[in-house]
Amino acid sequence: MNSQGFVASRTARCEKVSGDVVVVGGGLTGVCCALTAARRGTRVVLVQDRPVLGGNASSEVRLWALGATSHMGNNNRWSREGGVIDEIMTENVYRNKEGNPVIFDTVLLDLVMREPNVKLLLNTVVYKVIKSSDDQIDSVVAYNPINETRYEISGRFFADCSGDGLVSYLAGAPYRMGSEDREVYGEGFTPDRQTYGELLGHTILFYMKDTGKPVEYVAPDFALKDVEKHISKIHNDEYFSIHHHGCKYWWIEYGGRLDTIHDSEDIKRELWKVVYGIWNYIKNSGRFPEMDTYTLEWVGTIPGKRESRRMRGFYTLTQQDIIEQRSHYDAVSYGGWAIDLHPSNGVYADGRACNQWHSKGVYQIPYRCYLGANIRNLMFGGRIMSSSHVANGSTRVMCTSASGGQAIGMALALCVENGRMPADYVRPELVGELQTALVGSGQYIPGIKARDDANLLYSAKITASSTFCFSGYAPNGAYRPLVFSTAALFPVRGQMPKLTLSVRAEDATELKVELRVALRDKGYTPDSTIETLAIPLVKGEQVVTAEFAAAFDESRYVFVCFMANDKVSLAESDDLVSGTTTVLNQINLAVSNYGRQDPPAEIGIDSFEFWCPLRRPQGKNIAFSVEPAQEIFSLELLADSLTRPVGATNAWAAALDDESPELTLEWDGAKMINGLRLFFDTDFDHAMETVQMGHSENVMPFCVREYEVADAENRVLAKVSDNYQAVNRILFPKPVATDKLHIRLKHPRQRIPATIFHLVIK
């Protein structure tokens, strides 16, 4: 070890780093951006100011990552985000279905650290932007206090995924902070600044555990006294329970009337004051003797932020874009969380801790929301994307932000490949190139079908060993009381089939059945009743039929609704079929779902009912048969780039009695094939909360686990035996010349058919 004598001063070690794309911010937005760009061969530097990746989803904050699925409490069927964020969420469920936040940290680190084109800088805080001109960033300067190193990080393009928009701010880009006046965008839900406030605050969560022996607790002096007096929600069973911890305390929120950037340390101290005050109340008020053996296991040390700066882009998303589900030619992402605004007084506010108003389905987010005109080589994503304060109440959630991160990463990778600038892809004649690349990588963009003409699938003759026909679900012997109105949801084209089902009645009564569809194209809100039946029932078990006159020219989802009747029970089934499900008109208070929403008329939001599935293992289908069996799967649907159910199943499935399901693709002559991508069903209707909730399965039951790919001579080119991901990328060691490919699959389970949405062959 060398020693040195006194010198006048020293400077920190400096390291120069460069990349094609510099991503600042290692939350889910930044991770998805970095991985997307890197997988295209782009050199990426990912700069994160914390010791772990994940941002609000990390073990430092421990908020569950969610998006359009909204705890499965809305009408957004099959809406979980695709692409890289789906890969992350599915990987986490596979490794960590119990929802351990520390393990989720490792899932993210693993994905990033094994990507050779990403240089990861943790604990590295950007504090300066250097520009080569007024509209061009040359580099950022950052410091890591752990290794005492100053980094000068240069790049061709920069992605600001920092949460607070630090890079954009330092570069001089325009931004907004707080709520706009109602007149600015004409948004009916714009809050009154005086009574409701301008910003959403921060939250700090805590965890507890039972030690099995008495534990005393002495609160710090700074802990809030008289919690019952200051926090009215302590008296509200919807919010407070001694059995709650973690994300259940999302309503411990503060800072909405402060500067949520520069006052963050003060906000954190106030949140600590509240958290330790609540725990002192639980332990020492004398009201909860059953908590005698519990200890406080963990309290967050940094607050989870909801809102701060929002950058000004080429387009600003508003309430109307969300509620009306407006179409955008340059859509690259989407959202589906409710417009979720909170009173700025946060935990100290009386009344509800949030106001959530849902839209009737998912909405597009245009590319123009992720870049502005002022800095040519900068894009921004996450909760700082260009939106109004009201729209930010929906777009801010992590999986929506991450989906936008993938769009940014793909756009910047294409800029590197093609010598373009981000603004070039605003042009209608070029944005299709970006959309096609995103869809091909697994990203779902509502309303966008992006045909990749280089895909050899389109020139192949496709045959199958069999095709599954939907004949309903076989009963398992159990019955479900019809406490809530319950609907079978499946696609139909042509004459509506006859349904036959077993029911049990406690007394003579009537079963009311309604055939409903969604008024909005490709929607899942059953707000249009086509026919109504009244079926008389006698006491006991019986078989009934429901026959309808309706017919449909195009494939569309129908809801066969069995209306609530507490004297009636319906037979249940354990069968699962891709693109079909059972939904209930039930209540989910976690997302302000009371069975229906009826907002004030003046705020410009729809009234409608909620029809949502139950989670497995409770989430079972109603048992029924349909006659004739429905041809809802076909080889033609494989050519559709929609890799999830949207208006149709969009998939091919093999018949259950086919013991060796096989697809064969044949060309007129030999093709040079580098590899292929297969798109499987990982149940996009299942919300994959990253922490605390837990999941009953670590692999989605619809997903094909085993398959192999062989050439015309039956040589096996690839074999997979433990798949659990939606998108499988097969790259052959060297290009294969063949005029035929065989794809042989196994059914994932005994009563679940092998299903594929789409193939990309190049």
* pLDDT tens readout for residues 466-522: 999 999 999 999 999 999 999 999 999 999 999 999 999 999 999 999 999 999 989
Instruction: Calculate the dihedral angle through the C-alpha atoms of 717, 704, 29, 398, rounding to the nearest 10 degrees.
Output: 180
Residue 24 has pLDDT above 70, yes or no: yes
> Torsion-angle region of residue 472: left (phi > 0), alpha (psi -120 to 50) or beta?
left
Q: Cite the beta strand spans of 82-170 per DSSP E.
A: 118-121, 125-133, 136-144, 149-160
On average, the pLDDT of the chain sits at: 97
Structure tokens at 146: 């752990």
pTM of the model: 0.97
Residue 587 has pLDDT above 90, yes or no: no
pLDDT of 550: 97
Question: Are 46 and 119 a contacting pair, CB within 8 Å?
Answer: yes
* pLDDT tens readout for residues 360-395: 999 999 999 999 999 999 999 999 999 999 999 999
Q: What's the CA gap between 178 and 150, in Å, rounded?
A: 34
Question: Are 224 and 276 a contacting pair, CB within 8 Å?
Answer: yes
Residue 1 has pLDDT above 70, yes or no: no
Question: Are 357 and 606 a contacting pair, CB within 8 Å?
Answer: no
Q: Write out 346-404 in H/E/C secondary structure.
A: HHHCCCCCCEEECCCCCEEEEHHHHCCCCCCCEEECHHHCCECHHHHHHHCCHHHHHHH
Q: What's the CA gap between 200 and 195, in Å, rounded?
A: 13
Which DSSP category does 51 fall into? S
Question: CA dist 340 to 14, 319, 337, 576, 600, Å?
Answer: 44, 11, 8, 33, 15
Mean pLDDT for 517-541 is 97
pLDDT of 2: 62
Neighbours of 454 (CB within 10 A): 11
Position with higher pLDDT, 632 vs 4: 632
pLDDT of 591: 81
Residue 415 has pLDDT above 70, yes or no: yes
pLDDT of 588: 85
pLDDT of 5: 81
pLDDT of 469: 98
Alpha-helical (H) ranges within 419-474 are: 428-440
Question: Are 457 and 759 a contacting pair, CB within 8 Å?
Answer: yes
**Three-state DSSP class for residue 278:** helix
Q: Write out 235-270 in H/E/C secondary structure.
A: HCCCCCCCCCCHHHHCCCEECCCCCCCCCHHHHHHH
Instruction: Calculate the dihedral angle through the C-alpha atoms of 347, 349, 353, 359, rounding to the nearest 10 degrees.
Output: -130
Query: What is the phi/psi pair of residue 285, to 5°?
Result: -75, -15
Position with higher pLDDT, 641 vs 77: 77
Residue 197 has pLDDT above 90, yes or no: no
Residue (of 66, 48, 29) closest to 247 by Cα position: 66
Question: Are 268 and 303 a contacting pair, CB within 8 Å?
Answer: yes
Structure tokens at 266: 């003060």
Residue (of 332, 395, 335) closest to 68 by Cα position: 335
Query: Do the strands 378-380 and 149-160 form a parallel or antiparallel pair, or are they unpaired?
Result: parallel
* pLDDT tens readout for residues 656-707: 999 999 999 999 999 999 999 999 999 999 999 999 989 999 999 999 999 9
Q: Tell the residue number behind the tokens 């882009």, with chain if given.
A: 313
pLDDT of 3: 64
Sequence-distant (6+) residues with CB within 8 A of 244 are none
pLDDT band at 247; cut points 50, 70, 90: very high
Question: CA dist 7 to 11, 12, 537, 698, Å?
Answer: 11, 14, 95, 59
pLDDT of 592: 81
Alpha-carbon Rg for the chain in angstroms: 27
Question: Are 548 and 496 a contacting pair, CB within 8 Å?
Answer: yes
Neighbours of 587 (CB within 10 A): 14
